[in-house]
Structure 1
Amino acid sequence: MSASTPAATRRRGVSMADVAREANVSGQTVSRVANGRENVDPETRARVLAAMHRLGYRPNSAARALRSGRFHSIGVIMFTLSSFGNMRTLDAVASAAADAGYSITLIPVSHRTGGEVSEAVDRLSEEAVDGVIMVVEAHLLDEREIDLPAGLPVVVVDSNARDRFPVVDTDQAHGARLATRHLLDLGHRTVHHVAGPESSFSAMHRREAWERELRMAGAPVPPVHVGDWTSESGHEIGRALASDPDVTAVFAANDQMALGVLRAMHEAGRAVPAEVSVVGFDDMEEARSFWPPLTTVRQFFGEVGRRSVEALIREVEEGELHGVELVPTELVVRESTAPPPS
């Protein structure tokens, strides 16, 4: 079989010269089409694209990156893939990146150390990314051992960048105020809080806003109960709350812990919402199927992911830097809240 046969061409890879011969145009014309240039006649462009399709030609992204200085690739460093919010955010980041013509490279961070974050950034640098979206715990970005390459565009999600990088996040504080105010407006004397881990940026802001709203209303501030985002921790804390007859309202920092609280209340024979009202945070799909359906604070994870990609691309392509961009939250009232028993 000669080197000019289609099979041989496929084995060695299709070049621009092959496409040029197939379309009967110059190599420069093929290059302009491959790089998305506008100065090509529409009929000629169509002929070149058809030739590319027939031959199976794929533009060399590495060569294009050398010419343009960009790789059209985004790195994502994410603390955990197990949480509802992170998976929804990652899904939105991937979709928004694809829509913008970028691929993503994901590096999970498991041990919560600044050194591991630095290693993840080094790995992404080797993968030739244009910038990085970081979805990590707050304290990791405070550690001096984190070393980022100079000039690498970075956007932070759900964490505290301390003015080092642009931040895109849910308005955590506003959501917690909505939840607390809802329960107070129903007539509850105070609101007990099941908080997330103390190392969590989101949990910290929800807890601070809950306490601030109680103090502004002149309501007592009960001791905080700290969970770990799981329904098991919510259940354990809920058992203690259920044993206290003075507890009539509970705000849990996420829906999974709220589910554990609901179970504990049912097991203790305390009716929800007739005796105890419960509010969650996230509005995960299953929240409407809890019993009773859960009143919760809706986060728009898709919007957070989309805006983080937009902010990073603006930084990569235009050099634009923005401070903190907050995505609003919304209270979704269902059947798990009601006025306190008279």
Structure 2
Amino acid sequence: MNKPLVISAPDPRSLDLIFSEENKAGLFSDYEIHEMRPEEVNRSDTAILAQARYIIGQPPLSLETLEKMRNLRCIFNVESNLINNMPYDHLFERGIHVVTTGAVFAEPVAEMGLAMALCLARDVVEADIAFREGRELWGGDGNARASLLSGSRVGIVGFGDLGRAIARLLRGFRAEISVFDPWLPPSLLREADVTPADLDTVLRTSDTIFVVASVTSENKGFLNAGAFARMRRGARFILLSRADVVDFDDLMEAVRSGHILAASDVFPQEPLAADHPVRNLGNFLHSAHRAGALDGAFRKMGEMVLEDMALLDKGLPPMRCKRAERETVSRMRSRPVDKN
């Protein structure tokens, strides 16, 4: 009996990164795997395309290619950013699932965001640097701008898997959490024990703001000078999703002026130019897009893919990975990552 055929093109990920040795062995035991570069998929042999049941990765796919893939059931996007590089309408019309494994990053990124919030609230990094340089301030003298996260007012912009993970972590801090997410009904936010709010309210009232919104055709650069001006003086701004939702020059100016403090795990270009001014900007905490890049998270991707393949093989829908939605997938404007 022939095994189901899988086209594997997960670049920049690799099968060794996302599958444990045991799960990779199971994958190759249960499926016929054809590994290739993403750009090679459209040039693949017609017989391979016709037999392929699954794609692991997010290769660019032409309509002509997809019309040859009569047995395709699901595209497993393990890069996790939905990119407009395939005719999604055609996929949905045929009932082909497009799913992502991005949920694996929610918990590790949320923990990094919490760490950043605590560092900014208590001057952890700046105090350490001062100590190393022999200019530390002892006791209360070193807490002139320190404040508690406990019992504070927190805003979250975007409330997908990552926003929900942040809210769960903040419950232990008794924070008052307000959320702005125009793609969700208020009742869903209330059920998650957060307060629905418009963007202006989140900006004006929050001591700390976590930005975890995806980049779409509607929100590129929507957090700009006007938005930062509405924030409370001394508030903390933590960017964890994608830099394109922010006007980065405006963000740097808001920090440079002393109006807010900021932290970011993402930047306009990655890797960032050696002479980029944000590198030497005070009151700005930097992380090189490493918040979610943990081996454990990558391994969970492989587990999710295998579990959903098993369901699909039985004629059932995928349940572990998150399905792309017909109404929103073409509005996503994220850029692919170049490095894991």
Please state which band the TM-score falls in when normalised by the shorter chain: 0.3 to 0.5
Computing the radius of gyration from Cα coordinates, the structure with the larger value is 1
Scaled by the length of structure 1, the TM-score of the pair is 0.42
TM-score normalised by L of structure 2? 0.42
Between 1 and 2, higher relative CO (CA 8 Å, sep ≥ 6) is seen in 2
